[in-house]
Each structure stands twice: as structure tokens, then as C-alpha cells.
């Protein structure tokens, strides 16, 4: 199967589901502006993000160093052994006992999830899927992962991340342990324990993320749970120039989806079409994928609505008030022309309440 095209407002979900349902083996390369990523599949499952053709960038190594999973001396040791022996990063980590296999597999899965979440949020991207067993020959992996549960988790993260970032700005606040002891019968996640262990002194969120040896989303989620339990205190960091109300200097550009079950229903419909031969030739598949979903499809309307709603909420988070019109969103760069045009085509109407504290989008 050869699959290639461009996507704008619509994400990669349909392409990923197509590969999964047809149990394809090969490589999906994705490019957006100055960013690129690859996903390797075997029998429709994601097995790796590491392109062996690249001599400079190893996304899994980047993941391990970004979150403090590797100490400086361990990284130097791995680099030296790899250059001298030509062994793969995974082989060196296991042979040198840096991680046991269970821990390495956990990091591997977390990395795959985060890598997928990243590419799902890209806009104006191009993609190409090259199929064949020879494409994945020699690709190292620590497991294969079904697309659907990974996508479900992506949808959850896309929904929750903006609020987490607003509540816990990377440099705007300092987090400290409240001194309160966890309740004996309270359920505690491993991520909560890991974050609490770092709070021997007040730290910024950025510092916690860099030390926790966890994906950034897991850290933010742990902070949210710890705050709800009263186990941490959040104080304004006066040195940063940001306030503790969660103001974020950088705009959140990620796409937002609503209820994940809507996405599941759309995936099921997509898979059903494939099963019953609705898309039998590659050209037609490519055309459908490139255009997204026909405008009459409720899932298509829901997606555009989610894009617009997220733009509205992101505008409020940065500007302190809801936009007067949707055109304001475009002028300020919170939605693109295509999204706004699709909203107009679907007759989505935005109306601000008289006091400006709420809005309707119907």
C-alpha cells in the first residue's frame, strides 16, 4: 500500500487507523514545517520511532535525557560503547545493566505514547507511508503497541493538557511539599510518589519535569492529583515575572478534541468502511484522507467545533477575555483560515453573552 498526501485541519488519526485495520507493515514519515518524525509498524502495530538512517537524532535517546532517565556519566558511557562496538542503544543499556528489561520497556512505551501525541498535534503536515517487510528489517524494538489505545490516550491528553499547563506554568510557580501525610487508604500512583520524592525543596515545574524520569504529561497529572489531595503547595515565583494564576507566555498551539468516545465512534465508522470495501483503491483512500471527512459527517462538524472551541479558550487564557468574534481568533493566530472557513461552511455560529463571561457555539 502506497499512501501519501497532505493534511491541514484534520489529524493523522484516519491514516493511523487505516494502517492498523489493514495490519500493514512499513514506515510512516510525517513532516510539518521544520519538524519531522517517523513511526514504524509491524502488522498494524507501532514498534518504533527510531530511524536507523539518521546518524544524528535518536528520539528515544532524546527522551531518556530530556527526563533525567540517564545520568551524565551513563550517557557518556553509552556513547563511548556505541561508537566503539556499533551496538544499538537498546543493546548497550541492557548489557551494561543501566536499566533492567522491565524498566526499559516501560520507558519505551512511554516514549512511543509521547511521540504519537506530538505528531497528532501538528498542523499543516505531509505524510508518506512506505509498506514492506524490508522497511522494518533491522529495526530494534522493545514491544509493539496497538494504535487504538494509544490514540485514545492522545485524545485524553489533548483535552487535559491546556488546563494542566495553565494551572502549573513551567516557570511561573514553585511547588513544595505541604507537609501533610497521605491518607493510609488513599490510592497513590507511582508518578505521584516520584514527584513527591523530588520535593525536598521548592522546585519549578520545569525542574520537576527534568528530574522525575517520567513523561511531562505524567508529571503534570501527578501534580494535579497531589494538589487535589492537599499534599503540595503552589506558590508564586516572584523571580520569574509570571503570576501564580497560571499565565503562560507561550501560546498553546495544540489541537483539541472533545469527548474521546466521539473519536472512537469515528474510528469505528472508518474501520467499518475499510472492512466492507468502501475504500478499495489507494488513490481513493489518499483522496479521502487528504480531504479529511465529508462536511456532512457529524464527526467532521464535531472536529471543527473542537478546533474552534480550543482556539476560543486559548484566547481567553492568554488575553483574559473571550474574543468578540471568530475573526478575532484568526487575526491573533489562534485558528487558521482553513478552520475558520470550514466553520463558516458548517454554519457554526459564535455568540458572546452580554457580560462577556460565556459564549455559545451552535
Determine contact, residues 282/2, Cβ cutoff 8 Å.
yes
Q: What is the pLDDT of residue 194?
A: 95
By the 10 Å C-beta count (0-12 exposed, 13-18 middle, 19+ buried), 289 is classed as buried
Q: What is the pLDDT of residue 330?
A: 83
Torsion of CA 275, 278, 283, 285, to 10 degrees: -60
Which residues are CB-neighbours of 280 under 8 A, at least 6 positions away? none
Residues 294, 79: Cα–Cα separation, whole Å: 50
> Could you give the count of Cα atoms lying within 13 Å of 337 in the half-sphere of its Cβ?
0
Determine contact, residues 39/116, Cβ cutoff 8 Å.
yes
- Tens-place pLDDT, residues 153-185: 999 999 999 999 999 998 888 999 999 988 877
Look up residue 175 and give its three cell numbers: 511547588
Q: What is the pLDDT of residue 291?
A: 42
Q: What is the pLDDT of residue 314?
A: 66
Q: What is the pLDDT of residue 287?
A: 40
Q: Is 190 helix (H, G, I), strand (E, B) or coil?
A: helix
Residues 236, 219: Cα–Cα separation, whole Å: 19
Determine contact, residues 41/30, Cβ cutoff 8 Å.
no
Determine contact, residues 129/20, Cβ cutoff 8 Å.
no
Residue spans of the chain under pLDDT 50: 9, 240-266, 268-296
- Tens-place pLDDT, residues 55-82: 668 999 999 999 999 988 999 999 899 8
DSSP summary character for residue 145: B
Determine contact, residues 29/128, Cβ cutoff 8 Å.
yes
Q: What is the pLDDT of residue 304?
A: 78
Chain length of the chain: 362
Q: What is the pLDDT of residue 216?
A: 94
3-state helix, strand, coil in the chain (%, to 5): 50, 15, 40
Residues 39, 125: Cα–Cα separation, whole Å: 15
Residues 220, 231: Cα–Cα separation, whole Å: 14
Determine contact, residues 31/125, Cβ cutoff 8 Å.
yes
Q: What is the pLDDT of residue 238?
A: 53
Residues 336, 7: Cα–Cα separation, whole Å: 13
Q: What is the pLDDT of residue 256?
A: 45
DSSP summary character for residue 351: E
Residues 48, 38: Cα–Cα separation, whole Å: 8
Amino acid at each position: 500500500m502506497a499512501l501519501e498526501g497532505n493534511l491541514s485541519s484534520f489529524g493523522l488519526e484516519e491514516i493511523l487507523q487505516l494502517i492498523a485495520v489493514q495490519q500493514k507493515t512499513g514506515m510512516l514519515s510525517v513532516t510539518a514545517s521544520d519538524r519531522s518524525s517517523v513511526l514504524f509498524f509491524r502488522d498494524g502495530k507501532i514498534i518504533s520511532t527510531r530511524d536507523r538512517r539518521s546518524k544524528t537524532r535518536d528520539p528515544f535517546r532524546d527522551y531518556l535525557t530530556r527526563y533525567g532517565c540517564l545520568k551524565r556519566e551513563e550517557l557518556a558511557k553509552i556513547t563511548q560503547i556505541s561508537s566503539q562496538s556499533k551496538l544499538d542503544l537498546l543493546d548497550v543499556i541492557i548489557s551494561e545493566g543501566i536499566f533492567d528489561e522491565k524498566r526499559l520497556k516501560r520507558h519505551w512505551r512511554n516514549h512511543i505514547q509521547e511521540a504519537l501525541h506530538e505528531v497528532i498535534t501538528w498542523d499543516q503536515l505531509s505524510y508518506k507511508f512506505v509498506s514492506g517487510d524490508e522497511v522494518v528489517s533491522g529495526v530494534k524494538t522493545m514491544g509493539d503497541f496497538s494504535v487504538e489505545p494509544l490514540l485514545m490516550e492522545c485524545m485524553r491528553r489533548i483535552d487535559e493538557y491546556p488546563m494542566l499547563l495553565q494551572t502549573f506554568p513551567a516557570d511561573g510557580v514553585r511547588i513544595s511539599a505541604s507537609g501533610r501525610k497521605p491518607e493510609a487508604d488513599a490510592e497513590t500512583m507511582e508518578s505521584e510518589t516520584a514527584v513527591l520524592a523530588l520535593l525536598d525543596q521548592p522546585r519549578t515545574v520545569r525542574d520537576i519535569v527534568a528530574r522525575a524520569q517520567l513523561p511531562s504529561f505524567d508529571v503534570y497529572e501527578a501534580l494535579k492529583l497531589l494538589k487535589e489531595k492537599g499534599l503540595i503547595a503552589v506558590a508564586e515565583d516572584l523571580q520569574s515575572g509570571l503570576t501564580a494564576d497560571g499565565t503562560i507566555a507561550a501560546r498553546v498551539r495544540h489541537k483539541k478534541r472533545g469527548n474521546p468516545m466521539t473519536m472512537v465512534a469515528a474510528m469505528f465508522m472508518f474501520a467499518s468502511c475499510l472492512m466492507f470495501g468502501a475504500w478499495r483503491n489507494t488513490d481513493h483512500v489518499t483522496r479521502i484522507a487528504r480531504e479529511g471527512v465529508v462536511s456532512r459527517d457529524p464527526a467532521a462538524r464535531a472536529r471543527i467545533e473542537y478546533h474552534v472551541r480550543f482556539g476560543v479558550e486559548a484566547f481567553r487564557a492568554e488575553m483574559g477575555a473571550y474574543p468578540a468574534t471568530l475573526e478575532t481568533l484568526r487575526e491573533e493566530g489562534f485558528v487558521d483560515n482553513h478552520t475558520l472557513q470550514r466553520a463558516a461552511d458548517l454554519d457554526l455560529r459564535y455568540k458572546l453573552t452580554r457580560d462577556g463571561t460565556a459564549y455559545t457555539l451552535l
